[in-house]
Amino acid sequence: MALHVMEEANRCLGCKKPRCQEGCPIHTNIPEVIRLLKAGKLNEAGWMLFENNPLTTVCSLVCNHEKQCEGHCVRGIKDVPVHFSIIENYISSTYANQMVAGPAPSNGRKAAVIGAGPAGLTIAIILARYGYQVTIYDSRDKIGGVLRYGIPDFRLPDSVLDDMAYRHLELKGIQFRPNTYIGSAITIDDLFRDGYQSVFVGAGLWKPNKLNVRGESLGHVTYAINYLASPEAFRLGDRVMVIGTGNSAMDCARTAVRKGARYVTCVNLTDTLTASQYESSYARLEGVEFIMNKCTVEIREDGVVLADSHISEDGKITPIRGTEKLYPCTGIIVAVSQGAESNLVKTTKGIDTTGRGLLTVDADGYTSRPGVFAAGDAASGARTVVEAVANGKRVAKAMHQYMQSLPMPVTTDYPDIPVAQTDEASTLAEQVL
């Protein structure tokens, strides 16, 4: 592995105007990282990666490299680009094992982060570096959000996220409150009451978009976001059809193959796949087939009725009557993106939303309510992981500036209340027993 990494590193031309860095949404200083590695300074290279991108171990595995760093590499114009993803993964995963630094000195202020997805994790880590006491709230039992529950383990192993929970959260003193849905028993108002000076909302998109066709509620149908969260819970048989051709659809198709499906087909409305070339090529390699230019007309117990699709001048896609045909299958996965859930907004006064239910924010993540910030999928719709990190870095800086403009929080302790003695309590408990 190391030899292969060094071979890739030696292919880097060290361009004075690095196109690779320009193509990276968080502008990773790729030439300098590679230079440090070649000079035998692996730890310095690792520190640079993590300082710029707290989720570097994740991004090295799931970024759309073909359109970002590697897609802009000057070598790729006439040859094969330098595969920085391999270099980044080697450096970051090796250096991560040595990260043992404890929490920064407390600055006496608290911040709350709703959602343990890529944007929320980025913000929590950066604010902890500033010395804030940070608590992350998530409706699931572990960190990661879409990283853990929306990306298959064969693309992003859970061990990467588990290590992040230890290295970045536990060692930095960041608290994680799992299985807690903000907007139900606890509201944003409660967080401000309890001394949090700012709140970040990064709840993600967990509400599946529907096809709105007959048969969508049948027992052999599921949605991509639900299937990827727990594929072993579903019994879709050996002939699976995936409606959609985005990256999530590719994840579903490839997961179905690994769960025993012998025939997997993806259906696309147009003649162009929306998934990246890498992901679609892997799917094809694993036996996934594609049906193009078809609309889903109806779902039946024995399959899906598809028809040829027509695209009007205004971009509206409709089925062509008379072209309907039944495509037999035993299970269907609907993978046509997700939308926002509204409970959190409904329980919070003063937060404006768009027509799609997304939070209205400015360039720095400010919502219409003072002290409440948002970024990531909850504010911009579905985006890539590295874009969530880039937005998170910008919003974390804005949150820091906002909280620094506020007076120091006043303690709400009650000094006149006596503290119970532990030994007395223990003695009383023994007497009761």
Residue 40 lies in a domain: yes
Does 299 lie in the same domain as 235?
yes
Residue 420 lies in a domain: no
Does 115 lie in the same domain as 78?
no
Does 188 lie in the same domain as 122?
yes
Q: How far apart are CA 230 and CA 348, in angstroms?
A: 31
* Structure confidence at residue 428 (pLDDT): 53
Among residues 307, 336, 365, the one where a domain terminates is: 336
- Among 410, 413, 393, smallest CA distance to 110 is for 410
Does 344 lie in the same domain as 331?
no
Q: How far apart are CA 333 and CA 177, in angstroms?
A: 31
Q: Give me 287's structure tokens.
A: 């036996």
Taking only the tens place, the pLDDT of each residue in 175-192 is 999 999 998 889 999 999
Does 170 lie in the same domain as 72?
no
Give, as one character, the DSSP assignment of residue 106.
P
| Mean pLDDT taken over the chain | 91
Q: How far apart are CA 91 and CA 94, in angstroms?
A: 5
User: Contacts by 374-377 with C-beta closer than 8 Å and gap 24+?
Assistant: 374/200, 374/201, 374/202, 375/119, 375/123, 375/200, 375/202, 376/115, 376/117, 376/118, 376/119, 376/120, 376/202, 376/204, 377/117, 377/119, 377/146, 377/202, 377/204, 377/205, 377/338, 377/340
Residue 105 lies in a domain: no
Taking only the tens place, the pLDDT of each residue in 207-259 is 889 999 999 999 999 999 999 999 999 999 999 999 999 999 999 999 999 99
- Residue 201: CATH number of its domain: 3.50.50.60
Q: How far apart are CA 69 and CA 200, in angstroms?
A: 29
Residue 347 lies in a domain: yes
Among residues 311, 336, 361, the one where a domain terminates is: 336
Among residues 96, 130, 152, the one where a domain terminates is: 96
* Structure confidence at residue 418 (pLDDT): 76
Does 139 lie in the same domain as 183?
yes
* Structure confidence at residue 103 (pLDDT): 80
Asked if residues 54 and 95 have their Cβ atoms less than 8 Å apart, the reply is no
* Structure confidence at residue 429 (pLDDT): 53
Taking only the tens place, the pLDDT of each residue in 8-65 is 999 999 999 999 999 999 999 999 999 999 999 999 999 999 999 999 999 999 999 9
Asked if residues 297 and 307 have their Cβ atoms less than 8 Å apart, the reply is yes
pTM of the model: 0.90
Asked if residues 349 and 215 have their Cβ atoms less than 8 Å apart, the reply is no
| Number of folded domains that form the chain | 3
Does 246 lie in the same domain as 165?
no
Q: How far apart are CA 300 and CA 304, in angstroms?
A: 6
Q: For the chain, list residues with pLDDT below 70.
A: 1-3, 340-343, 381-382, 411-415, 421-433
* Structure confidence at residue 30 (pLDDT): 97
How far does CA 37 lie from the centroid of its chain? 28
Residue 415 lies in a domain: no
* Structure confidence at residue 411 (pLDDT): 65
Task: Count the helices and strands in the chain (H runs, E runs).
Answer: 17, 16
Asked if residues 132 and 210 have their Cβ atoms less than 8 Å apart, the reply is no
Asked if residues 344 and 358 have their Cβ atoms less than 8 Å apart, the reply is no
Residue 319 lies in a domain: yes
The whole domain housing 66 covers 2-96
Does 247 lie in the same domain as 200?
no
Does 248 lie in the same domain as 292?
yes
* Structure confidence at residue 379 (pLDDT): 79
Does 243 lie in the same domain as 136?
no
- Residue 57: CATH number of its domain: 1.10.1060.10
* Structure confidence at residue 412 (pLDDT): 58
